Amino acid sequence: MSKRTCLAIILAAGEGTRMRSAVPKVLHKIGGRPMLGHVIDAAGTAGASETAVVVAPGDDAVTRFVATEGGGTIFTQRQPQGTAHAVLAARKALAGGHDDILVLYGDTPLVTGRTLKRMRRALANGADVVVLGFRPSDPAGYGRLIMDGRQLAAIRELKDASAAERSIGLVNAGVMAFRGDMAKALRKIGNSNAKQEYYLTDLVALANAAGKTVTVQEVGANEVIGVNTRAELAGAEAAFQRRARQVAMDRGATLIDPESVFLSYDTKIGRDTIVEPQVFFGTGVTIAEDVTIRAHSYIEGAAIARGAEIGPFARLRPGARVRDKARVGNFVEVKNAVIDVGAKANHLAYIGDAHVGTGANIGAGVITCNYDGFAKNHTEIGAGVFVGSNSALIAPVTIGDGAYVGSGSVINRDVAPDALAIARGRQTEKPGWVAAFRKLSMRRKKGGGKETVR
């Protein structure tokens, strides 16, 4: 099969009116990636050498996504006249002479590359058309797959099915694969139906009439969830999360309460990493082995190295890099910054646009003042530095290796290595001042005395 070429045609021209959204339906996200992106990825995993995405006229957002993030060639279906009509909108791609054709849907985001490979393998083994089927708990509304032994004899729409056919639990998922030489049969599909549309499912009847081999590949219902409403989007997200959590655990991560951990499509978690409850991973997160992610942490666009500890209640924003055995503690936010080997920021700190050197200690309440109202500026904190609690480091600034910043300091100039920097008002004390002020305040309440306490 590896030598067979494959064209994936992804139908993404649906209006998605039931989503009630200004965002095109196929660009709503599952696991942080637009549904269409998941389908494109699955096609690539299945070995598609070319991808055609069929969109509605003027669908600029989908076109931009395909051009910048998805990959593939855009074709436009000028009028919504059915699924076969939509496939033929990509006729230039169909003319490329591919061995296998996959027809997918941009709103069915959980179909896997493994399943599509299985469909292609059936083509390589002699099938002419392969239809994806599943057995839902409630088959109402789905076209039934009428089998004659191993041959798919027909796809019967519910309104046309007999009582016996309606009892069939195997239904049509919509996804189809066929040999490249079957593409010419698409032009024979007519529109003699109530909607006067051209249905791809009619290819099954045409193939049977021509003596071709038509088979079914069956998958679990969760893999072919179609999304037309916000509720169905939530259902697909839940199914995606169950799958992603299982993959993470199968690869050696411990999720203490899996259902409270949310992953993105590209989350990578190393072996023997422990993830406590209520953790959210946005896109672009890579976690090495032996990491501990404490509860209620939010992590996106970050890389966490071996043996590090994050949280609880930590936030890592894009560009955060936490090196080996470093510590980012409770209510610490890190953005576009490196926390180097063994460094720690244990409490209530903001570290943005900075480098915290090896073994440095960042005290509670420390902030890097990285934004001056116009631009972001860098703070360099050297190896072994101690920054005392409630200090503000006004960037751009460098704290040299081994330096010590006294608590409560406002640092706006570079600090030399091994120096002590203290930048705060000198403490003064006036013995007896409070007692005198208290007496004066009581006299004022009684209407007398204008003197002041010095």
Active site residue 85: no
At 287-334, the pLDDT tens digits run 999 999 999 999 999 999 999 999 999 999 999 999 999 999 999 999
CB 134 within 8 A of CB 221: yes
At 10-34, the pLDDT tens digits run 999 988 899 999 999 999 999 999 9
Q: Which of 372, 370, 411 is nearest to 391 (CA)?
A: 411
Indicate the pairing of strand 298-299 with strand 280-281.
parallel
> Under 8 Å CB-to-CB from 94, ≥6 apart: which residues?
7, 9, 87, 88, 101, 183, 186
Percent of the chain predicted with pLDDT > 90: 88
The pLDDT of residue 441 is above 80: yes
Whole-number pLDDT of residue 159: 82
> Under 8 Å CB-to-CB from 405, ≥6 apart: which residues?
385, 386, 387, 388, 391, 393, 399, 411, 415, 421, 422
Enumerate domains of the chain plus CATH numbers: 6-224 (3.90.550.10), 253-331 (2.160.10.10), 350-454 (2.160.10.10)
Residue of 28, 98, 296, 347 marked active site: 347
**Rounded to an integer, what distance in angstroms lies between the CA atom of residue 316 and that of residue 438?**
49
Whole-number pLDDT of residue 21: 94
**Rounded to an integer, what distance in angstroms lies between the CA atom of residue 276 and that of residue 256?**
5
Q: Taking residues 190-214, what's their average pLDDT?
A: 92
The pLDDT of residue 152 is above 90: yes
The pLDDT of residue 1 is above 70: no
- Per-residue confidence at 2, pLDDT binned at 50, 70, 90? low
Whole-number pLDDT of residue 192: 83
**Rounded to an integer, what distance in angstroms lies between the CA atom of residue 231 and that of residue 88?**
31
Whole-number pLDDT of residue 448: 64
Q: Taking residues 334-340, what's their average pLDDT?
A: 98
Query: Given 3-state DSSP classes, what are the helix, strand and coil percentages for the chain, each rounded to the nearest 5?
Result: 25, 30, 45
At 265-279, the pLDDT tens digits run 999 999 999 999 999
Whole-number pLDDT of residue 160: 82
Whole-number pLDDT of residue 60: 94
CB 26 within 8 A of CB 62: yes
According to DSSP, the residues that pair with 427 across neighbouring strands are: none
**Rounded to an integer, what distance in angstroms lies between the CA atom of residue 293 and that of residue 313?**
10
Q: How many helices (H) and strands (E) are present in the chain, helices listed first?
A: 9, 35
E-assigned strand segments in 92-212: 100-105, 129-134, 144-148, 151-156, 171-179
Whole-number pLDDT of residue 444: 80
Give the type of residue at 214: V
**Rounded to an integer, what distance in angstroms lies between the CA atom of residue 147 and that of residue 135?**
14
Q: Which of the 8 DSSP states describes residue 143?
A: P
